[in-house]
Amino acid sequence: MAQQPEAIIYDLDGVITDTAEFHFLAWKKLADELGAPIDRQFNEQLKGVGRMDSLELILKRNPGLKGMPQEEKEQRAAEKNGYYLDLISQLTPSDILPGIEELLKANRASGVKIALGSASKNAAFVLDKLGLTHYFDYIVDAAKVKNGKPHPETFTTAADALGVPYAACIGIEDSAAGVEAINGAGMFSVGVGPAEHLPHADWRVDNTEQLEFTEILKQYSAKGE
């Protein structure tokens, strides 16, 4: 691992903004309709996981729903997305999580490249609503990623597009699946959230306010020593 990183790849939901909460509310509404209610603890498994894979996880634990035809699955996933889009239509820059814009500013000023590595097909729209698009050198298009998180493809796609080696990248994530994806790519993983959800992060903070640029660089180089 080099002394200085060349790129930082940010997760969106749960790191830049709390749309993780809106995803939960939208899935909860759909799961209630299906007669298969979910709680916050189960929701941890859905964080960072793509739309269809999330639906599969909900269906899988309910024997009566296992045989749902593909066409209905697609309708249900679209329905959930409709609920989600309703919830995020009101997003504004005030919904940026604490400390994140300062972090992006410091990141930009340092010359270290910036990418977005989100599993969300709505990522570009959300970033736009938050007024943050101009900070990013590259935004991964989730629709083109064949293997979602925990597979490393989301993160390796960003590094390849930026032309930087994986070992020179830092990934920031709030989900266990996302941390696994970063580690699998051979990158330095920064976890945001409770230790019990993110035991495998190379470095972990409790909340986004603690994501300080120089401290992230320090932790990255400490791992390379």
Catalytic residue numbers read 11, 13
Q: Is 114 helix (H, G, I), strand (E, B) or coil?
A: strand
Whether the CB-CB separation of 127 and 147 falls below 8 Å is answered with: no
Binding flag, residue 198, ligand B16 (CB under 6 A) = no
Contacting ligand B16 within 62-91 (CB under 6 A)? 81
- Binding characters for ligand B16, 12-51, by CB under 6 A (x = yes): xxx-----x--x----------------------xxxxxx
In the range 115-174, which residues lie near Mg ion by CB under 5 A?
Answer: 174
DSSP 96: B
Least distance (Å) between residue 150 CB and ligand B16? 11
CB of 110 to ligand B16, least distance (A): 23
Which amino acid is residue 61, in one-letter code? R
Residue 10 φ/ψ, nearest 5 degrees: -100, 140
Amino acid occupying residue 179: V
Check binding of 175 to Mg ion (CB under 5 A). Answer: yes
Instruction: Evaluate whether 175 touches 11 at the Cβ level (below 8 Å).
Output: yes
119 binds, among ligand B16, Mg ion, none (CB under 5 to 8 A by kind): ligand B16
Site for Mg ion in 73-102 (CB under 5 A): none
Q: Which of 1, 5, 8, 14 binds Mg ion (CB under 5 A)?
A: 14
Q: Give the count of beta carbons closer than 10 Å to the beta carbon of residue 45.
A: 16
Distance between CA atoms of residues 109 and 51, nearest Å:
35
**Position 121 contacts ligand B16 (CB under 6 A):** yes
Pick the piece of the chain touching Mg ion (CB under 5 A) from 24-32, 84-92, 153-161, 175-183: 175-183
174/57 Cα distance (integer angstroms): 19
- 152 contacts ligand B16 (rule: CB under 6 A): no
Which span (48-56, 156-164, 179-187, 204-212) binds Mg ion, by CB under 5 A? 48-56
Q: In terms of C-beta density within 10 A (0-12 exposed, 13-18 middle, 19 or more buried), how is residue 136 classed?
A: middle
Q: Does 157 bind ligand B16 (CB under 6 A)?
A: no
Distance CA 192, CA 173 (A): 6
Identify what 118 binds: Mg ion, ligand B16, none; CB under 5 to 8 Å per kind.
Answer: ligand B16
**Got the DSSP string for 132-174?**
-GGG-SEE--GGG-SS-TTSTHHHHHHHHHHT--GGGEEEEES
Sites of contact with ligand B16 (CB under 6 A): 11-14, 20, 23, 46-51, 54, 81, 118-122, 142, 175
Q: Which residues bind Mg ion (CB under 5 A)?
A: 11, 13-14, 48, 174-175
